[in-house]
Amino acid sequence: MSGRLYDLSPRLTQALAVFPGDVPLSREEMLSVPRGDPVTLSALRATAHLGSHVDAPCHTEAGGVGVDELALDRFLGPCRLLAVPAQRGGRILPTTVERRLGGAPLPPRLLLATGTAPDPERWNGDFAFLDPALADWLAGRGVRLVGVDTPSVDPSDSKELPAHAALVRRDVTILEGLRLAGIPEGVYELIALPLRLVGFDASPVRAILRAP
């Protein structure tokens, strides 16, 4: 277990883009060592969907569980990184994933690199999104977590959020906002633990791929 680590999390700063109207990160410094206080102490405020994050079922479903109730084993273990080059605003279909996979083994975690939201500090709403039919395709092959390099698995202007709904229905956990550019495709160990935020609709994660 000494393989190279790939950091999939964008830097969390005030400049990090969030959904239009959502709350960007800010830091309020209560105490400061340079100013003569005994400690530096700060408070943060931000959307729970900050940078690389997991969506909880309650984000989109009435009665869905909060992020604290997601099983930890989802976020740890064998994971395939797959490039699915897409057009801006393109739809990722099961056939696209199947073709790109080419019969390679599929562990219970799959990260899809679309390349359609390239700059974490510059919002573009025309990122690629998942066809809701992918939920059945993934769940049918034992996938329990899917991650994307975009702010959402649904189009940015979607109100129905059909991919979120389908994935929640099939109990496939959603990771969003990953940085996947430049990482070779293949099978890795994923480490992407959410905070134990009780009842929250999401949690930031520090997402890492460890090469074998």
Site residues (CB under 5 A) for Zn ion?
A: 55, 152
- Beta 173-176 vs 145-148: how paired, if at all? parallel
Nearer to Zn ion, 116 or 152 (CB): 152
Q: What sign does the dihedral 58-166-194-72 (CA atoms) show?
A: positive
Euclidean distance between CA atoms 73 and 60, whole angstroms: 22
In whole angstroms, the minimum distance from the beta carbon of 175 to Zn ion comes to 9
> Least distance from C-beta 201 to Zn ion, angstroms?
9
With respect to Zn ion, which residue has the nearer C-beta, 167 or 189?
167
Residue tagged active-site, from 49, 53, 59, 164: 59
* Cβ 119 to Zn ion shortest distance, Å: 19
**Is 59 annotated in the active site?**
yes
Q: Would you say 172 or 189 has its CB closer to Zn ion?
A: 172
Contact by Cβ (8 Å): 25, 34 = no
Phi-psi region at 171: left, alpha or beta (left = phi > 0; alpha = psi -120 to 50): left
Residue nearest to Zn ion (CB): 55
Instruction: Pick the closer one to Zn ion by CB: 134 or 189.
Output: 134
Closest approach, Cβ 132 to Zn ion, in A, equals 13
Q: Is residue 174 within 8 Å of residue 202, measured between CB atoms?
A: no
Q: Which is nearer to Zn ion, 55 or 149 (CB)?
A: 55
Cβ 117 to Zn ion shortest distance, Å: 13
- Write out the catalytic residue numbers: 59
